[in-house]
Amino acid sequence: MSEATSDTSLTRSGPTAGVGGFKGFMRATEIDTRMLGMIGALLVIWVGFHILSGGTFLTPRNLWNLSVQTASVGVMATGMVLVIVTRNIDLSVGSILGVTGMIMAVAQTQYFTPMLGYDSGLVWIATLATGLVCGLLIGGLQGFVIAYLGVPAFIVTLGGLLVWRGGAWWVASGRTIPLTDENFKLLGGGSDGSIGATWSWIVAAVAIVFIVVGALAARRQRKRFKFAQKPVWAEAFTLAISLIAVVGATMIVNSYLLPGPLARRYAEANGIAVPEGGLEISFGYAVPVLLFIGVGIVMTFIAKRTRFGRYVFAIGGNPEAAELAGINTKRVTLMVFALMGMLAAVAAAISTARLSSATNAQGTLDELYTIAAAVIGGTSLAGGAGTIAGAMLGALVMQSLQSGMVLLGMDTPLQNIVVGAVLVVAVWLDTIYRRRAA
């Protein structure tokens, strides 16, 4: 069997030579079967809810909402992948979200807005920077205790779960703090926090350019070292699929239109004349969704293209080997937790802006949804394996389940039962897949 594998990759005409059918197709296009399975599961969930809800799930409005709701947990899930890959866990992310959200709200209302002026363009930057630094420090502190003092991550972050939740209360004595800065609120989405049809198309165009340039660069790289090229048809196929996905998503968010009164207000504010038959103003991509995708791209880059990312995976695969290879495993572990803390702060900015205020209970139980998203997305709790894109899809699967059940009017306890059961079944299926693949 191993001989067959070596022979096929030898062939210069392409890696598919000698392997036919579905397997050959998958190998030529280099599509991850696990990823394909997840997309399949997602489609089943979507179509299922669409039918059960009598046609309300697969509407632009619901899908747009789904994308916004996924952003916060999704951002944290990308960091949780690296945490779990290094054989650790972070139970404190929901609480870090709570405390950094509260810090940002307090800093904004009590310091930045009075200091810089109402709706100054700097307020949101200062607020976000404060949150990110606090998240980084909190995560870094936990990482220090885990890596250098040798306390297990489970315990440190379990402690953190309580400590930072208590901290969130302490920052504002349990009050709810409404945000003052309108620019910052754009991070949460809503009709203002969306970029409209034109900009959505521009974003889509930029994405398409990057996808095409990326594919060409990969081909050039393979040529440079005389490695076997992906067959042209396979390249064209994967490119076409990605382009269809980008265009499709853009069409969906653009076909979600502002409701009548909001559209009228928007028209008045921008001096647009209301034409016959009403206005058609699109939401377009929501800012938090773009932020989520941006974080996903940056995190994928970190995981795949940087030394740090390589070390994270090597440590997960064999901590002793990483140490013997001269990697400073303690420092890498600390950095992973610091990064996780910072991402929790990004998530806090999104969810605080979305609610327009910081509450004491914000982010409660988010650690479980985050871990579930990462694990459903194929991150192995044994360490060493996981992808950022998988976790992002995992977050979307979790949120789809929840939104769908809300749409069906299911009771909260029943929702929890379903989510819990799905998590267990998903990991069970993944275990079977891994055993087969090994």
Partner 1 sequence: MSATMEDIRDHGRGHHHDTVDRSGTPLVDMRDISIAFGGIHAVDHASIDLYSGEVVALLGHNGAGKSTLIKILSGAYKRDSGEIFVRGEKASIGNPRDAKAYGIETIYQTLALADNVDAAANLFLGREIMTPWGTLDDGAMEAEARKVMGRLNPNFRRFKEPVKALSGGQRQSVAIARAILFNAKILIMDEPTAALGPQETAQVADLIKELKKEDIGIFLISHDIHDVFDLSDRVVVMKNGQVVGSARTEDVTKDEVLGMIILGKCPPGATPGPGAMKE
Binding-site ranges for partner 1 (CB under 8 A): 2, 5-7, 9-10, 221-222, 224-225, 227, 301, 304-307, 309-310, 313-318, 320-327, 384-385, 438
Separation of CA 170 from chain center: 29
Which of 265, 307 has the CB closer to partner 1? 307
Assigned token pair, 10: 């030898």
Q: How far is the CB of 314 from partner 1 (least distance, A)?
A: 4
Q: Of 95, 70, 97, 76, which Cα lies nearest the Cα of 402?
A: 70
DSSP H/E element including 316: helix 307-317
Q: How far is the CB of 326 from partner 1 (least distance, A)?
A: 4
Q: Is 351 in a helix, a strand, or coil?
A: helix
Which of 170, 227 has the CB closer to partner 1? 227
Residue with tokens 């709701």: 69
Q: Of 286, 312, 284, 319, which Cα lies nearest the Cα of 388?
A: 312
DSSP percent split of the chain into helix, strand, coil, nearest 5: 75, 0, 25
Q: How far is the CB of 1 from partner 1 (least distance, A)?
A: 10
Computed from CA positions of residues 347, 353, 359, 361, in that sequence, does the dihedral angle turn out positive or negative?
negative
Which of 16, 67 has the CB closer to partner 1? 16
Q: How far is the CB of 139 from partner 1 (least distance, A)?
A: 23
CA distance 370 to 423: 12
Q: Is 282 in a helix, a strand, or coil?
A: strand
CA distance 321 to 327: 9
Assigned token pair, 195: 């970029």
Which of 182, 323 has the CB closer to partner 1? 323
**Torsion over CA of 177, 181, 182 and 187, rounded to 10 degrees?**
-80
Which of 246, 374 has the CB closer to partner 1? 374
**Between the CA of residue 108 and those of 73, 120, 416, 420, what are the distances in Å?**
23, 11, 35, 37
Which of 97, 385 has the CB closer to partner 1? 385
Which of 273, 437 has the CB closer to partner 1? 437
Q: How far is the CB of 136 from partner 1 (least distance, A)?
A: 21
Which of 269, 438 has the CB closer to partner 1? 438
Q: How far is the CB of 14 from partner 1 (least distance, A)?
A: 14
Q: How far is the CB of 339 from partner 1 (least distance, A)?
A: 17
Cβ–Cβ contacts within 10 Å for residue 286, how many? 28
CA distance 17 to 24: 8
DSSP-derived secondary structure letter, 269: H
DSSP-derived secondary structure letter, 88: -
The letter for the amino acid at 61 is R
DSSP-derived secondary structure letter, 286: B
Which of 149, 324 has the CB closer to partner 1? 324
> For the chain, how big is the Rg over CA atoms in Å?
23
Q: How far is the CB of 432 from partner 1 (least distance, A)?
A: 18
Cβ–Cβ contacts within 10 Å for residue 280, how many? 12
Which of 149, 438 has the CB closer to partner 1? 438
Is 376 in contact with 74 (CB distance < 8 Å)?
A: no
Which of 224, 435 has the CB closer to partner 1? 224
DSSP-derived secondary structure letter, 323: H
Q: How far is the CB of 433 from partner 1 (least distance, A)?
A: 15
Q: How far is the CB of 11 from partner 1 (least distance, A)?
A: 10
Q: How far is the CB of 298 from partner 1 (least distance, A)?
A: 13
The letter for the amino acid at 62 is N
